Amino acid sequence: MTDTTTSTPDTPAREIADFGSVHLEVTDLPRSSAFWTDVIGLVLRSETAEEIQLGTQAETLVTLHPGARTGFLQGHSGLYHLAVHPPTEADFARILLRLIRIGWQISPTDHIMSKAIYLLDPDGITVEITLETPERLLEANFDSDAPYVVRRDGSRSNGREPLDVRAVLETLPDDDTSLPVPEGTKIGHVHLYVSDLQAAYDFYRAFGFNQAVWAPRFHMGDLGAGGGFNHRIAVNTWQGIGAPQSPAGTARMRAFTLRLDTPARLDHVLGTVDAPIQETDGGFLVRDPSRNTLLLSAH
């Protein structure tokens, strides 16, 4: 494969997969639960000594587990960030306003294909709040030493501009930051640190994810699921080639849930996995070549 230039489909198609809950191991369950409810706005769905489930009223997006004794550790394969995608710009703006009022440190960024807010949870795990805006993007170009994106009007951007916070906040119909995230909020993408870029990219391509960006000169690749927002699983070797998995006892991702669109696709995917498969009540646990764990199921 060579570096790729990608464009955004004008007509969204049905995607081959979506995400269920992302499972995180944390150092302090009550503290992390408060972060996800009070700072992000998720709903507390269930709570035991062994796990806390958070999300919308109807669906779990994040599951917290005890077990970590120290915070997130750099230099390892694992989770780069998980991304919560609210359904509308007003919903995105409500989270932004809540973060501003609380005084949480954030990095609001305009990727053109999306509007993003980056922040760290109490253990140092990176969280992204993402508003999908593929209609603003004409193409992304990774063929040069300075990658760039092209807006629909033909103008260029480096894809990492500061977000126009004032314009986002103007979309809010009110300033009530006590409201939880609405139905339709979802885990919209995951970005993974991996130990071998080619092996990781090939692993997810075999599932049926489409090539969105292949940019080994930047040590990263991006894959879409066939829809208008061409960014569902991203992989990079920014923690180092051969980086081992985050060790037990550190704050980290235990697994992320990937739901294939059909049982037939699930059967196909399981047939592509050249690794042990463990069947559980929720689906099938498998590991990618960097030992990131997925829980596979089907709609």
Q: Can you give the pTM of this predicted structure?
A: 0.95
- The chain-wide mean pLDDT, for the chain, equals 95
Say what the pLDDT of residue 14 is. 87
Between CA 80 and CA 281 the distance in angstroms is 27
Which of the four pLDDT bands, split at 50, 70 and 90, describes residue 13?
A: confident
Continuous segment of H or E residues that includes residue 36: none
Between CA 124 and CA 117 the distance in angstroms is 15
Are the CB atoms for 236 and 219 separated by under 8 Å? yes
Between CA 23 and CA 192 the distance in angstroms is 14
Are the CB atoms for 159 and 111 separated by under 8 Å? yes
Summarised one tens digit per residue, pLDDT across range 220-248 is 999 999 999 999 999 999 999 999 999 99
pLDDT reading at 3 higher than 90: no
Summarised one tens digit per residue, pLDDT across range 263-291 is 999 999 999 999 899 999 899 999 999 99
Q: Give the residue from 236, 40, 6 showing the smallest Cα distance to 112.
A: 6
Summarised one tens digit per residue, pLDDT across range 112-142 is 999 999 999 999 999 999 999 999 999 999 9
Which of the four pLDDT bands, split at 50, 70 and 90, describes residue 145?
A: confident
Which of the four pLDDT bands, split at 50, 70 and 90, describes residue 12?
A: low
- 3-state DSSP call for residue 54? strand
| 26-40, 45-59, 72-86, 131-145: range with lowest mean pLDDT | 131-145
Which of the four pLDDT bands, split at 50, 70 and 90, describes residue 5?
A: low
pLDDT reading at 6 higher than 80: no
Summarised one tens digit per residue, pLDDT across range 49-64 is 999 999 999 999 999 9
Mean pLDDT for the stretch of residues 40-53 = 97
Mean pLDDT for the stretch of residues 152-161 = 95
pLDDT reading at 10 higher than 60: no
pLDDT reading at 146 higher than 80: yes
What Å distances lie between residue 190 and 144, 232, 292, CA to CA? 26, 6, 11
